[in-house]
Every structure is written in C-alpha cells, then in structure tokens.
Structure 1
Amino acid sequence: MIAPAVAAALAPWAMRQAESLLVPPPDPAAAEPFSHWPAADLLDAVSAAPLASRPYLHRAGLVLELLRRPWLGEAGEVLRRRADALRRRLMGDTVTYVVNRNLNVSNHCVQHCSFCAFRRDPGEPGAYWLELEELQARAAEAVRAGATELCLQGGLNPAARLNGSQLAFAERLLQVLREAAPGVHLHAFSPQELVFFAECDGISLDAVLERLRAAGLGSVPGTAAEVLSERVRRLLCPEKLTARDWVAAVLQIHRHGLPSTSTLMAGHIERSADLAAHLLTLVALQGAARERLLPGFSEFVLLPFVGQAAPAPLRSRVGRDQPDLQAMLRLTAQARLVLREWIPAHQPSWVKLTLAGAAEALRWGCNDLGGTLMEEHITTMAGARGGTAQTPATLAAAAHGVGRPVRQRTTLYALLP
C-alpha cells in the first residue's frame, strides 16, 4: 500500500510507468529449461540476448539461472573471464576514479531499517548533525585536495528545516557548498531523501527536483534501492519507499535531466530471483531513459552488506559480519553480464570490500574504483573494514597492482588530464 504523502509526491504518470517497468522476481520454474546447459552455453545465451530492453526482460529465466548457479571452480573462472572480456570491450583497460568528498550531514532519522547501524535519535549516543559552517569548511578542504565532486547524503532528519521547509533547508545546503566549493559537482540526495522533502513540505517531487536543480544539484546517488523486491524490502526496510515508489522517483529524476547512479545491496537475505528482479528492473529503467534521450544511470555500484554493527535480528539471520568476498566477486561478474551495454560503468565498494578486495573486483568486471571519499560514516558505523579515505596515489596503486592503467575522471565519467 502506498503511503498517502508518498502518493501525493510522485507523479501519476511515473507511478503508472513504474508498474510496467518493475520486474517481479521470476518463478524458479522459469530457469529450469536452462538448468542443464553447460556454463559456456549459458553465458553465450546471456550475451546473445537482444539489446532492446523489453525483449531482454522476457529472458528472465535465463538471467535467473545465471544468478542461481554456484559458479565454483573452473566454471567460476569461465564466468570471471567472460565478465572481464565484456568490461574490456565496453570500457577498455583504463581504471578510473573520482576525487571527491563524502558528506554525511546527519544520522538523525525517522526510519528504522533492519540493516542500518548509522541512524540515531537526537540525543542518543553517537547522534550528530553537522553545522552549515562545518560543512563549508569540509567542502573548502576538499577543493584544496583537488576534489571535483561533493557527495551529500544523510538520514531523514525531520528537524532539518528552514522557515519550516525541508526543501528550503536542502537548497541552503547546496548554496553553502557552492559558495565554499565553486564549480564542484554536487552529487546529492537519494530518491528516498528527495521524496521525504516533498512529503514533509506537502509538494510534488517535480517541484523538489526543479528547485534543487536550480540550486546546483548535478546528479543523484542511487541509494535506498537496496533490493527491488517487495519480499526483501518488507524485512529490510518496510518504512522506506516501495520498489515501485523508488522506480517512479528515479523516472522523475531522469525526466528532469538529472543522472543518477544505480546500486544493489546484496549478501543478506536476498535470493537469486530477487537479484534477477533488481538487475532487470535497472535494465528496464535504463531502456526507458534511452528511449527519451535522458541521462539515466551513470554507473552501477554493488554494495555488499556489512553486518558487524547491524541490528541484532538481521545480523543473526545473516550469520556473517563481513562480506563474503568470493560471493561478491561472482555477483560482480554476473551483474556485468546482465547489465551489459545498458550500464557500462561498474565500480566496487572499497569501503566494504577493502581496497585489496576492490582491486580484485577489477578482474571480475569492474572498470572503476569509485571515489577518494575523504570521509565516510554510514558503512563505517556498520563495521566495514575498508577505511574512510583513499588518495589518488593509493587508488592508482591498486589499479597498477592488477596490471591496469589509471585515470582520474569526473562524476559523469569524462576523463581528466
């Protein structure tokens, strides 16, 4: 059921289109015709799927079989080589990265996601809310370090208002960052945050996007997607946008000419069918954007679940504090093969996998190492061991360590000298 405030915020056309684009988890029977195929034949069939997005969605059983196979031993090496070859064909051998600073403004949040170790109530130990002056100082410091991007995200803080308006406060955030870091790309506010602003102010998401774009918003992080399967979302994040709501919000974001990233949080309670639904929904969204010559998704980022400091019920259910690197590498390759030309840029999370793990992911289909970040709180508070900052030199060394050249890029993948 859609919450009334969310329904009022999202455009009716976007909700209708989201219903048609959201791919449900395939029935296991759909994969049975492919279950006895040799690995090479299965990978050939995935690679031969039509490039038009809608016919590809009809091959959901093929994608499900790709995702549910264990891909161990020699089969795993075949999978890796196929993904690596596709990466080379689509993106070349050069590894890219962006010099950016991550600004997690506050961890005050009205929602209670079962995986989140970041959120706090005001006054609770570990709760924080950065002042505008502090954000300006950090932005200016990022410029001095060569940053071309500021990434701005935080909890859904009901007190973050200016003259009673969430949107006015968000506009003010962008303004102070532009003053401190003129010309730096502002990559800010997940679809969940944007809809929250609209809900709180009683206005449409379109109005939010128009005003924030005018205030300097350059692109949108694709977080809050988690897994686009309602079975999973009811357990992980029942208070968040539904999968259909998230798809509708992204349709509107793209319609306003704003690129967004795409993400997948995996390695917890999802099943292969949920992963198939998620990846094929991203394909459908990207196809819809390309049909209208809209920017669509700029990249895909796999976000392995980190459970060390997660709430106890989910941590106990998952039974693992840190990501299973080998499983995440296989999923990295599988995602590369499913997303293909629709989303050519793929990056791992060195915060979650460690830099060594992220470097290994470059051999499994990734072409990018993400950003320097300079600071990070959301995943670190969950117990991630990858650290909170990298330098261009450490990212370059990671790429060189797997025999690849490296270049700095912008947020939207233009190469820099």
Structure 2
Amino acid sequence: MAFVSYHQYLTDASPEAILESILAKALAQEDLTPEEGCFLLTCRDDSAWLAIQQAADQLRANLVGETVTYVVNRNLNFTNICEQHCSFCAFRRDAEDSGAFWLTPAQILAKVEDAITQGATEICMQGGLNPAAQLQGSALAFYEDLISTIKSAFPALHLHAFSPQEIQFIARQDGLDFETVLQTLQTAGVDSLPGTAAEVLVDSVRHIICPEKIDSQTWLTIVHLAHRLGLPTTSTMLCGHIETPAQQIQHLEHLRALQQRAIAEQLPARITEFILLPFVGELAPKPLRHRVGRDQPSLSATLHLTAVARLYLGKWIVNHQPSWVKLGLAGATEALRWGCNDLGGTLMEEHITSMAGAKGGTALTVTQLQGACQALGRPYRQRTTLYH
C-alpha cells in the first residue's frame, strides 16, 4: 500500500497509529482528507476493519442516535424504454423489444391508489429515457402532465421523482434550460429528486460504464440547481465494479462539497441521505459482468465502504441507507451496524435492480422492516421522505 508507506515516511508512525488518528479525527467530526479516506479503504486486515466499523457505528450514534427509520413508499418505474445503453443495466428495452412497457396514466393512478391504501406517503418515480415522450407535444409536457395527474388526485402524496439524468433528457429533448424544467416540474407537484444516475462521479469511469449519460459536472450542476430552487435530493453511489478506492473517495468528496456549498449558500434544500448501491451483474450486459467477475455484491466490501462513507461524509450528510434489494434484508440489517441509520422504503415493487438479478426481493412489509430493527435491539420509527 503505497499510501501507508507515504504516511510512514512523513510521520514515522505505524499503520495502526495512523488508523487510530484518522478515526479519532472522524469521531471529532472533522473532515477527513481524500488521502485519509483512501487509507481507510485500503486497510485490509480484520482488526482495522473492526476499528473502522466501530467508529462508523459510533459516529452514526453521535449524529442521529439509535433509532432506525423507514418510509412507506412505492417505487414506480413508468417505462423501461430507453435511448441509452448503460453497461450495468438489464432494465432498459427498445420500444419494439419483448418486455418493453410504458404505463398509461390510468395504470399509474391505479398503482398510486393501491400504494395509498397500503399506507404509502411517498411515490418514488423514475423511468427509462423514452424518446416517444416528446410525441406528446413536448417531453416536458408529458412529464408535467404525469405529475399533475397524480398530484391532483392525491395532493398530500410526496412525489420523489426524476433523476438529474431525466432532467437533462427533458431539457435536451425540448431545447430548454435545466432551471425551466425543474421549476415546471416543481410547480406541477414534484417534491424532491432522487440522486440516482450519479453512478461514480468520475468521468473516466463513466466513459466505460455509462458513456451516454451526463458527465459528473452536469449531475452536480443539476443537483445544486435543485437545491437552490428548494427541491431536496438524495445522493447515491454505484459501487463494486471497476472503480478504485481513490475514485470512490473522489465521488464522496464531490457529494460532501456539494452539501457544504448548499449550507454555505444557505440554500432552501439539501441532500437528505446517502445510499450505497452495489453492482448486481447476474443478468447485466456481459462485458461489464465479465470484467467485474462476480454476479452478486460482495457484502464485506460493501460494508467496509458503507463505514468509510459514514466517516468521510461526517456531519454533512447524516442519513445513510443500505439497499436491501441488492444486499437482502439480512445484509441491509448488518449495514445498520456499519454506519447506516435508515432502512429505506417498503418499495412495493422494484424492477431495475431485480431485472439485473438481485436476490433481495422487490417488496418488504413494515413488519419486516421493524423486525430487522428489533433483531438488533434498536428502536424504529416511520418517517417521511424528508426525515420528519
């Protein structure tokens, strides 16, 4: 580990002493440097991992307490027809392909109504980049009508909808600027944005795994603009494929700086949570699957990164959530010991990850989520999308 040698050269300290110093700094809620983050990610022995796990768990307790939160929501993927060809995606289809779908407004409303009868307070809505949306007159008109239809029928429902990639797609289709798109959707009823399509915010990685997607700076620009307009967002990282520890830290650095900027500028909205999304390759396109060399996530590597993300993001992004769809409920429950404080939502249905071969299922009940918390002896509480 070249970085360990470099630190030893500068400080004449042992790796154990360096680790102790970094963890003490994180627990004091001081910002770690990228070099310190990389050091934590390149620790490989069991004793170091245990120390990192314990520090992340302690920082979680210091920042947000012992209560584990969850939201009752429905995931609604309204189309899998998509113009892009991301190398990790088994969800997308061309319009003429078998299995392609594009839900009608009536089908969407029926799913929303069913979710509300099950106690949902949130609809999380995302879909493929379907060029046919523009045939409605304009792409923005299609998305605006979709949101307005749901919101007029269910005004109290929180609509968590459209990633930065979808915002860019609408703007490009109609020749509009990002602010116009965001303001129009916000007026129609969008309450917050999923911070998906981030993958890894390093363009050299994006050029391989998602070359047609927006670049890192565009993602950051759209999220910052959403915060300025009063639209909260989440944040994510797609991990466990070709990215290096240094690139993982670069991604976390972008998110931390983005949140710090929102706070410094006193913007009306912020990043509400961080979600780690480990790569599932069982049914993903072959080139990336073969390059990664495994079909399911490594739980140990995911937990290690979960803990480091908690320590690196520190006091700036305090809510951390694992993906039970990708890790299974048992894996997600274990992540609650590695820095996470939230179990996400019930989802009720999930297509994007399950179509890639994930084993965690597509829906969980409130009883199952509560049982996971009870198994750890932790209290639980239902929350809203914005952690109220």
Asked if Structure 1 and Structure 2 have the same fold, meaning a TM-score greater than 0.5 normalized by the shorter chain, the answer is yes
Give 2:40's match in structure 1, choosing from 66, 83, 90.
Answer: 66
Alignment correspondent of 2:24: 44
TM-score w.r.t. the length of structure 2 is 0.95
Between 211-220 and 174-183, the greater mean CA deviation after superposition: 174-183
Question: Alignment partner of 1:301: what SS?
Answer: strand
Give 1:309's match in structure 2, choosing from 270, 278, 283.
Answer: 283
Q: 1:402: Cα distance to partner?
A: 1.0
Q: Does the CA contact (< 8 Å) of 2:70 and 2:345 recur in 1?
A: yes
Give 2:206's match in structure 1, choosing from 233, 247, 253.
Answer: 233
Alignment of 1:398-417 (within 5 A): 398-414=372-388
Percent identical pairs in the alignment equals 54
C-alpha spacing 1:321/1:209, structure 2 compared with 1 (3 Å): same
Q: Does the CA contact (< 8 Å) of 1:162 and 1:168 recur in 2?
A: no
Alignment correspondent of 2:260: 287
Q: 1:163: Cα distance to partner?
A: 4.0
Deviations, residues 242-287 of structure 1 (Å, cap 9, x unaligned)? 1111111111111111100000110000001100100011010000
Give 2:7's match in structure 1, choosing from 22, 33, 46.
Answer: 33
Alignment of 1:184-333 (within 5 A): 184-294=157-267, 295-333=269-307
Q: 1:46: Cα distance to partner?
A: 4.0
Is there any run of 5+ residues in structure 2 with no aligned partner, and where?
A: none
Alignment correspondent of 1:89: 62
Q: 1:345: Cα distance to partner?
A: 0.2
C-alpha spacing 1:310/1:163, structure 2 compared with 1 (3 Å): closer
Q: Does 1:380 align with 2:354?
A: yes
Q: 1:292: Cα distance to partner?
A: 1.7
Is there any run of 5+ residues in structure 1 with no aligned partner, and where?
A: 1-27
For residue 275 of structure 2, what is the amino acid of its counterpart? V
Rounded to whole Å, the distance in 1 between the matches of 2:129 and 2:5 is: 40
Question: Alignment partner of 1:219: what SS?
Answer: coil
Q: Does 1:133 align with 2:106?
A: yes
Alignment correspondent of 1:342: 316
Q: 1:48: Cα distance to partner?
A: 4.8
Rounded to whole Å, the distance in 2 between the matches of 1:309 and 1:343 is: 32
Alignment correspondent of 1:153: 126
Q: 1:164: Cα distance to partner?
A: 2.0
Rounded to whole Å, the distance in 2 between the matches of 1:408 and 1:123 is: 41
Report the RMSD for the aligned CA atoms in angstroms. Answer: 1.7
Between 323-332 and 171-180, the greater mean CA deviation after superposition: 171-180
Q: 1:146: Cα distance to partner?
A: 0.6
TM-score w.r.t. the length of structure 1 is 0.88
Alignment of 1:173-188 (within 5 A): 173-188=146-161
Rounded to whole Å, the distance in 1 between the matches of 2:236 and 2:352 is: 15
Q: 1:135: Cα distance to partner?
A: 0.2
Q: 1:50: Cα distance to partner?
A: 3.8
Q: Does the CA contact (< 8 Å) of 2:203 and 2:216 recur in 1?
A: yes
Deviations, residues 211-265 of structure 1 (Å, cap 9, x unaligned)? 1110011000000000011111111001101111111111111111110000011
Rounded to whole Å, the distance in 2 between the matches of 1:60 and 1:84 is: 21
Between 274-283 and 287-296, the greater mean CA deviation after superposition: 287-296
Rounded to whole Å, the distance in 2 between the matches of 1:382 and 1:404 is: 32
Q: Does 1:170 align with 2:143?
A: yes
Deviations, residues 73-132 of structure 1 (Å, cap 9, x unaligned)? 222111111100000011110000000000001010001111111100012122111111
Q: 1:30: Cα distance to partner?
A: 9.6
Q: Does the CA contact (< 8 Å) of 2:158 and 2:191 recur in 1?
A: yes
Q: Does 1:390 align with 2:370?
A: no
Q: Does the CA contact (< 8 Å) of 2:83 and 2:130 recur in 1?
A: yes
Q: 1:32: Cα distance to partner?
A: 2.5
Give 1:102's match in structure 2, choosing from 75, 78, 83.
Answer: 75
C-alpha spacing 1:93/1:34, structure 2 compared with 1 (3 Å): farther
C-alpha spacing 1:121/1:162, structure 2 compared with 1 (3 Å): closer
Q: Does 1:121 align with 2:99?
A: no
C-alpha spacing 1:64/1:382, structure 2 compared with 1 (3 Å): same
Q: Does the CA contact (< 8 Å) of 1:31 and 1:62 recur in 2?
A: no
Alignment correspondent of 1:363: 337
Question: Alignment partner of 2:91: what SS?
Answer: coil
Alignment correspondent of 1:8: none
Rounded to whole Å, the distance in 2 between the matches of 1:376 and 1:215 is: 25
For residue 324 of structure 1, what is the amino acid of its counterpart? S
Counting matched residue pairs gives 381
For residue 333 of structure 1, what is the amino acid of its counterpart? A
Deviations, residues 45-71 of structure 1 (Å, cap 9, x unaligned)? 4445745xxxx6xx221122122222x
C-alpha spacing 1:31/1:354, structure 2 compared with 1 (3 Å): farther
Q: Does the CA contact (< 8 Å) of 2:124 and 2:159 recur in 1?
A: yes
Which consecutive aligned stretches of 4+ in structure 1 deviate over 3 angstroms post-superposition? Answer: 28-31, 45-51
For residue 332 of structure 1, what is the amino acid of its counterpart? T
Question: Alignment partner of 1:167: what SS?
Answer: helix
Q: Does the CA contact (< 8 Å) of 2:4 and 2:15 recur in 1?
A: no
Deviations, residues 152-211 of structure 1 (Å, cap 9, x unaligned)? 001100101364211110011111211343301000000000011000000111100111
